[in-house]
Structure formats: structure tokens, C-alpha cells
Structure 1
């Protein structure tokens, strides 16, 4: 494993040879503030393991900065208020880096708290790495110099998804089903805007918002979809809200193309497989069948945990941090943030850039499709015999969306 990862890092290591590694050998502690229990706890637990596993494999000699990353999980129970309490506890324990991703409500609360903390406590600044919360507001009207988003936001993903869907002639009548919070509301909004521009002949025949994490039986929604005459479903649901929706579709025997953001997330693939062959697409920065070092990491993770590694933004986040620390010759959050802001690097999914104007990652995205494993795409998601195979790579400039961010920078 160490040899494999060393190959990944060797170019970056050589690029910095001769540098004064003031930070080499230091331990960088990161507090993962996440819902590790409750309705979406299985997703949070997967991502805690993912952070710890990738940090372990990209540590010390295996990252360009020569630092050791240590990830500590702190349970916010999926609540914005608990996330704030947990952030205060992390600061009290001396953490200077935090990360979170599940839930834009918690992300917005944390971003604001970090900005206020840093303004009031010079010399004790904290950097917030957001690996999955995709509300566009976080890098637009609510942007924050200390917040760095590693994922593509909802608007970027929808720009990419509608660019693909406009060429799918079978898409004519679309039913939207999303969670009733900022992300779900924006999936519906940006889909309508994108398709109005690219496929004005397609119509919306249903638009439902469901209470986040509260619906246990999606059968009534499936009945509405069936009655609507829809030929396509679009959903930004994730975790239990997607797993239970797919189960209801299976129970009703309703099969139609479904376009998703998070079909590969814990639990959903197993339920998809239980329904047999189905036409399901996912828009994401990755898919299930990367090659090279990332393929080995994904395989090793499944062997170790019996679970899937799918939050690849974590991988890019560790690369981003380590390259910034090497260039800053420091692990000081102030110096590292100054380098990360605008940094370009080679991510697992191609040329990537942490856009200087808003700290929004610019990166290539993939449309992948649910299918049975084969020789070309052999990774068995959740050991189901199925996989998400890439069908189209979308360059970063296609998915890039403008920002209204007026960033307040440290003086």
C-alpha cells in the first residue's frame, strides 16, 4: 500500500525537493463534525472511516508536506445546533482544522461560526473543509474566506446533469422528488432552469418536497409518480430518504430512468440491486471504477470495512491541504488558507482548482450508470454484483457556474 501511494505523490515530492520542510513530521489534527448517529448516521460513519483510512494511507512520506493527518470524529447528530456545540468543543480541544459535509444547514451554521471565531480570536484561526454540503449559498452570498468546498455545488452538478439529459430523447415528462431543505429545493430549482434552457420541450409533471429524514414509507409518493405519467425521475435525495424511496419503487414494480446525485451512498446500492436491472444515473465527481492507486485504495477499503469508499472529495482534500502546507512551509491555518485560496493541483478526477474568488472547487464531473459488473468495470458496489460505470466525463468548464461572492479577506 505504501508503495502504491508513494507513486501517486512522487511527482509532487520531486517538485518540492530542496524545500525547507518546516512542517515535516508535524501532526495535523482535524475534527470531523458530523452526524454519526441518527437517521443518516450510517453515512456519517462511512465518511469518518473514509477520512481516517485515507489520512492513514496519505500520511508522512506519502504526502508532499511530510505531515501526519489525524482525524477525530465528533458526533453532531445531524443537527445544526449540535454542530455549533461540537465546534465549540473542538476549538476548546485545540483543533485548528474542522471538516463536515452531510447537511447544508449544519454547513451554513459552521461556516458562520468559523468566520466569527476567527475574527474574534486572532492567532487561533480555524479552517473549515467542506467535503459534501452543496448549497450554492456557501460560495455565493454566504461565502467565507475560511470555508473551502471540495465537492461541486448543487448548481454545478445540475449544469452537468442537464447538459447530459438534454441529449436523452426519451426524457419528456419528469417527476422531481427531493428533500425539503436547501439542497432539495435547489435541485428542483436548478433542474427547471437548466432544462428550460436546454430542453424546453420536456415538461415537469410532478414536484414533491419531502420532510428530511422523516418519511418511512414512500409508497404514496410512488403512487403519485405512477399516476402522473412521468417517464423520468430526478432526485437529490440521499441516505435513508433515497434508500426508502428506491425500496418503494421496487415494491410497486415501477421502473423508469432515474437521475440522482447520491445513489452510490451507503445502503442505496443494496436496495437498487434487490430491484434487479434498472436505469439509474448519478452525477458526481467520481464513480465506482477508477484506476491506479485510487482503485487499490477503494478495494482495500472494502476489504477492511466491508463497506464502500465513495466520498473521493476527501482524497482531493488531503492532496489540497498537503500541497498547500508544503508551499506554505507551515501547518499554520492562516498560512495554509492563503495558499489553498486559488491553488491549482492534479486531483484524482483531473486538473482541479480551488477558485480564488469563492473557495469553490472547480473540477471534472462524471455521469455514471448502474449496471452489472463486467471485465471493464469490475468493482462490485456493496458486493451486489452491480457497479456505477462512467458513461461521460464532463470537463470542469462545462459544469462551472458563476459566483456572487464578495469575499472578506483577512487584513
Structure 2
């Protein structure tokens, strides 16, 4: 018996699909070396020109804010290193500063000097790291070697202080764990001289280099209105001509009594941001020189005196029964801050890094929210990349100096 076959009419047979061969969708990342981490950019190109950009994040998400809500306050401190892992101490300090505001405690002056030293040393470490990898992205490969050589000397200083080179855990709630090692300030002065020589070398090679300027000038230009709209901070904001630095606006530690300037430019482009990074290294050196002179004038107290929240000095713990019991409770059960909430902003090397903490009076924070600068700067790429060529995307992403540890929290 013969079988009859019926040809099924395709559902979309009469629909005409239009395709413009000049348009192309490109996935930039998340494994691309110039995406500076786990960034996936979905780019729509017209030829080589970007007409639409969609940042796709979350590939490094670890739930750090939720982890904070399930750890006692001191226990969470080492985890903050993993936010901006190119300048870990700035994260340590930002969290400690927020908790200290919640507790309402006063930090000893020597601890403030050491903290400010570490913060500015971290700023130099972060900035010189940026110059090295940004130069390598654009094609100035020798920058990477010159910058990392100087950065190694800075990491030696951090290692001498806290024993670590990348994730420092160098700050404690209430102060600092250690005094500066012998001759540390002498080594710091030698590093300052080394840094002067390095930034002079970098500027001699890059400032008037026609290839460098061609790749950076008038590329990735940000207007003041765009910067405010996207909530930009740090150099991304100051490169648009807006002078805003939390160290000046809301001084913390010793910044209120130190003499330093806030470099700004109104160019708004990648070249202007590069110049600000170089100038900020000089300002950090100026701050460190002042702190070296202040340090010998301070006493030797390193931790705040607040028995309900901070353990007593080791000598008291070893000799006084009550101090030992109090230390045992704080380590095993954690401190119990008063009920309330606080937001403490700080000026990290990349911009405004702030911690919001809501306390219900328990050893664990009820809510923790981190305001990280890189998150906003990556979001702005969807406006910033439009109209640029694909080759410029690498330059623009690099000049944002984003770190994905603080984007994918």
C-alpha cells in the first residue's frame, strides 16, 4: 500500500528576514586579557565603530556582603582584602572605619599615623600598577617592567610590616596590630626616592610620546554631567574638572592636618586620567614625607581603649584575669555594637569606597552594603564606548582602572 506524504508548510515561510551585513555582535571577554578581569562586554559594531555596548558582570560574584552578615566583625576583616586586591589595605581600613564610627571610639594617634602611611603607600602601589598594565594594554610594553620593579619595593615595605604582599589584613578595628619595624621609615625614604626616579622615567617616555597621545587624547571623554549621572568618583570624576576628594571633604585619620593638593583636569579623556594618576603619586609622596616626621613624636599606643569592644593590650591579658576573660569572649563570641546604622565613605585609590552597616546589637551585622567605585565606572561603559572604535575599547576599559573583586561583590 502506497504511503502519501504531505509537505508541511513552514510557519515562517512568508516572513522576510532583513540582515545588514555591516552590523556585527562581538563578545569582548570575559576571558579577554584586556577586560581586566571577568568583564563581558556585548558590543554591537557598525564596521569597527561601537554603536551599542552592554556590560555583563557577575562572573566573579562571591556574595561578600552576605558573608559579612554571617561573620563576627573581626572575622570579616581578612575578607575585605579580596575587594580591591591591588590595594588591600584601603578595604581593610574602610570597613574598620565604618565599625569604629558605629562604636564611637577614638583611635590612638600613632595608629592613625601608621594607618595613613599604609593607605598612601597602598595608593602608590595601586596607581603604579595601573600605569604598568594600562601601558601594556595600549602597547607600551616596557612600562609594565619599569612599574612592577618599583611596585616590588613597595610590596617589600608592606611585607616588612604585616607579612603579606597582596592581601595585607594590616588594619584592625580600633587601631593597628603592630608598630612599624625598626628602620622601616628609612626604607620608606629610599622607596620615595626610587619612586621619584620611576615617575620621571615614565613621564619622559609617555607624556609627549605621539603614539601614546594618539591612543589616549580625546578618547573616552567624560563630561561632568555624565560623571555625576553615573555616580563616578575618584580620578574618573576629577578628570572632568570636578574637585571632589573625600580626604578633603570629610577628612579621616590625619588627612585634616596634612598639606596636600587634589589634582584635577577638565580634559575628561584617557590622557587626562593618566596625568592625574601620575600627579596623585607625587601627592602621596608629599603626605608620606610629612608622616615620617610626625611618627617619632607619637606615643606607643596602637589600639583604642574600649574594653567592651576591643581586647586589652597583650601585657594586661597575660597578667590580669578580667582582661583575659574579656579577650576570650570577644574572640569567641564577638563584640556587640550598639543598635544603629552608619555609612562611612573613604577615598580609595579608585574612588569612593564606603561601607554601610546596620546593627541590631548582635555580634553579627544585620546588614552590610558596600559602595565600590568600580561598579559605577563599569556601568558607565554602556554610554562611554558609543561612537568609539573597537581598538579604543581596550584603552577606555583600562583607563577606568576597574577591579572586579569590588564589582562582583
TM range (shorter): under 0.3
| Greater share of residues in helix | 2
Q: TM-score scaled to structure 2, two decimals?
A: 0.28
Larger radius of gyration: 2
| Greater share of residues in strand | 1
**Larger RCO (CA within 8 A; separation ≥ 6):** 2
Q: TM-score scaled to structure 1, two decimals?
A: 0.28
